[in-house]
A and B are shown apart, each in its own frame.
Chain A
Amino acid sequence: MSDHKDFSAGMNSDARKSPVRVAFVTRRTSAQVKTADEDQLQTYPEVLFRAAVAIELLAIGLAVIALLFNAPLEGIADASHTPNPAKAPWYFLGLQEMLHYFPPVVAGVLVPTLVVIALIVIPYFNINIEAEGLFLKHRTLRLRIFYVVALGLSLFLLFFHVYVALAPTLIMAGFMFLAGQSSPQSPSAFQRYLSAKPLSYWVMTWFLLELVVLTAVGTFFRGPGWSWVWPWGS
């Protein structure tokens, strides 16, 4: 044995968390055990204090808003006097916008039910857990499926004149197309970013975009008879 060591050994393990930890050190390598013991905070008082501060800041913010802006109150409910347009609460205006194009059983029942089911099943599919880039494997096949679905969906929305839902769809399809042309070796960082995005990311982002656009259109761009108005007009 030589007199100087050309390796260093370290050990840092928690016997309670992992009772047995074995490392095999092969002949010409040496092992240095690196387990990062994460820095932890005590729930009481540190974390609860932070939560309390966050909630207090929120309460102050909301109180200021409540002092500055009054909640709306119109005339007493009157079944014989229909306002035009009659609008649902803002978070349902995306749905109401859909109702403008599709029969109630589709826009009011089928679509929301499917959305809720889709949300619930997200964590139960391995494809969403592994979350690998959509076009990294079986590229040709998946691109083909994507083209068919994107084209079908766009034509469907075009056929029913749902331009407000078509625009976000086309934007997302554009990004997905770019993702299909990208790989982890792409020169641009943005393309590498897109290529790593899994199926669930694309579907969810499309849903988020549709939600925002439809809700915004329903809230700000719809006037009497659900006609298109500009929020800054009149």
Chain B
Amino acid sequence: MAKTINNYFDELRSTRVWRSVFRSGTGSSTLHRALAVQQNVFLHLFSTKVRRRMVSFSTTWYLGTLTFGTFLILVITGILLMLYYHPSVPQAYADTKDLQFVVSSGMFLRNLHRWSAHAMVFLVFAHMFKVFYRGAYRPPREFNWVIGVVLLLITLLLSYTGYLLPWDQLAFWAITVGSNIASAVPVLGNRVHFLMLGGNQVNANALLRFYVLHCVILPLAAILFIAVHFWRIRKDGGLYSHQTEPKTIVAQTTPAAAALAKDPQ
């Protein structure tokens, strides 16, 4: 019989190099599949098994997964965009123009990044409301809900800081409108505003600050909190479901016993 792809894959998995990389070993038994998750630094955030009911579409609408998907797309397209972008005035605008008209697939890259960003903001909100209406914030999951709120704020900040980077009129005035709100903070308002922009109005310093926030600080914060968010799902007993809490034994009487109980003698 000819070798199937699976055979080749099994052979590959039993090579010394492969086994030095992946700690789970060969084999496709339940144990090995569990080990593949448990023995992997990234996958060990998740539990090795998931209740079948929890992966059905209607339970979560996959909103958390999709939000993470937009984040992945944004990281990949974002890194590629960074290769063509200088965070300086007026070069930033020229680079954005070049992305649209000079760089191969630059337009597609920028479009994908922008629409994914909008999608992520939308999906984060949708995820939050879905979790709320399922009642999934209940203990012991309350802190994961708080982490979710933090991730919502990080997402908004990521989107907001990215909004300035094209350095066009839309970007400039949206950030001007938004940052003016910071001036309204009692007592510290003007200082917060100055700290945020590196000046009294949106200028080259603001562009650089937003660039660093958008490309380094906020993504790192997001990755950190996403990891904790995923890990807490496992630690808190998997996805919330109304009926998964351990139930007391349901005593069921047979019809004969029920009749006896109702009418003794």
Contact residues, B198-229 vs A (CB, 8 A): 201-203
With A42-B34, A59-B73, A109-B184 given, is the CB distance from A47 to B55 under 8 Å? yes
Majority secondary structure of chain B interface residues (helix, strand, loop or mixed): helix
Least CB distance, A201 to chain B, in whole angstroms: 8
B226-254 with Cβ < 8 A to chain A: 244, 246-247, 249-254
Q: Which residue of B lies closest to A91 (CB)?
A: B121
Contact partners of B180 in chain A: CB under 8 A: 104
**A54-89 interface mask toward B, CB cutoff 8 Å, 1 = contact, 0 = none?**
110011001101110111111111110111001111
- A66 touching B108, Cβ below 8 Å: yes
Query: Residue A119 at the B interface, CB < 8 A?
Result: yes
Contact of A91 among B107, B159, B185 (CB under 8 A): B159
Please give, as numbers and ranges, the residues of chain B lying within 8 Å of A63 by CB-CB distance. 108, 112
* Most B Cβ at <10 Å: residue of A55, A59, A89: A89
CB proximity of B77 to chain A, nearest CB, Å: 9
Is B52 within 8 A of A41, CB to CB?
yes
> Considering only CB atoms, which chain A residue lies closest to B207 in the complex?
A77
A62–B66 Cα distance when bound, in Å, is: 11
Residues 163-196 (chain B) with a chain A CB within 8 angstroms: 163, 166-174, 176-178, 180-186
Q: Determine if A62 and B116 form an interchain contact, defined as CB atoms under 8 angstroms apart.
A: yes
Q: A43-B43, A71-B111, A71-B114 are in contact. Are A38 and B244 (CB under 8 A)?
A: yes
- In the assembled complex, the CB of A234 is this many whole angstroms from the nearest CB of chain B, namely 20
B23 at the interface (CB under 8 A from A): no
Q: In the complex, what residues of B have CB within 8 A of residue A41's CB?
A: 49-52, 55
The total of chain B residues at the interface (CB under 8 A) is: 97
- Confirm or deny: B86 has a beta carbon within 8 angstroms of a beta carbon on chain A: no
A28 to B182, CA, bound (A): 72
Is the CB of A188 closer than 8 A to any CB of chain B?
no
Given the known interface contacts A70-B111, A99-B181, the answer about A83 and B132 at a Cβ–Cβ threshold of 8 Å is no
What residues on A are CB-neighbors of B69 within 8 Å? Answer: 54-55, 58-59
Residues of chain B within 8 A (CB-CB) of A29 are: 251, 253, 257, 261
Chain B residues with CB under 8 Å of A161's CB are: none
Stretch from A123-131, A134-142, A168-176 that touches the partner: A123-131
When the two chains form their complex, are residues A116 and B97 in contact, meaning their CB atoms are under 8 A apart? no
- With contacts A31-B251, A123-B138, A131-B135 taken as known, whether A88 is within 8 angstroms of B184 at the C-beta atoms is no
* Chain A positions 85 through 123: 1 when the CB is less than 8 Å from some CB of chain B, otherwise 0: 011111110011001000111001100000010011011
In the bound complex, CA of A78 to CA of B197 (Å): 16
Question: Known: A44-B36, A75-B169, A109-B181. Is A120-B149 also a contact (CB below 8 A)?
Answer: yes
In the complex formed, the residue of B with least CB distance to A34 is B250
Contacts of B48 in A (CB 8 A): 42-44
Partner of A122, one of B145, B153, B172, B183: B145
**Is the beta-carbon distance between B66 and A103 smaller than 8 angstroms?**
no
A233 CB–B CB distance under 8 Å:
no
The yes or no answer to B142 lying at the interface (CB within 8 A) is: yes
Contact B68 A72, beta carbon cutoff 8 Å: no
In the bound assembly, the distance between CA atoms of A75 and B166 in angstroms comes to 10
**Is A227 part of the binding interface, using a Cβ–Cβ cutoff of 8 Å?**
no
- Mark each residue of chain A from 1 to 38: 1 if its CB lies under 8 Å from any CB of chain B, else 0: 00000111000000000100101000011111111001
User: Which residues of chain A come closer than 8 Å to B184, judged between CB atoms?
Assistant: 103-105, 108-109
B160 at the interface (CB under 8 A from A): yes
User: Which residues in B have their C-beta under 8 angstroms from that of A99?
Assistant: 181
Which are the 7 A-B pairs with shortest beta-carbon distances? Answer: A104-B184, A123-B142, A77-B172, A55-B69, A108-B181, A66-B111, A86-B173
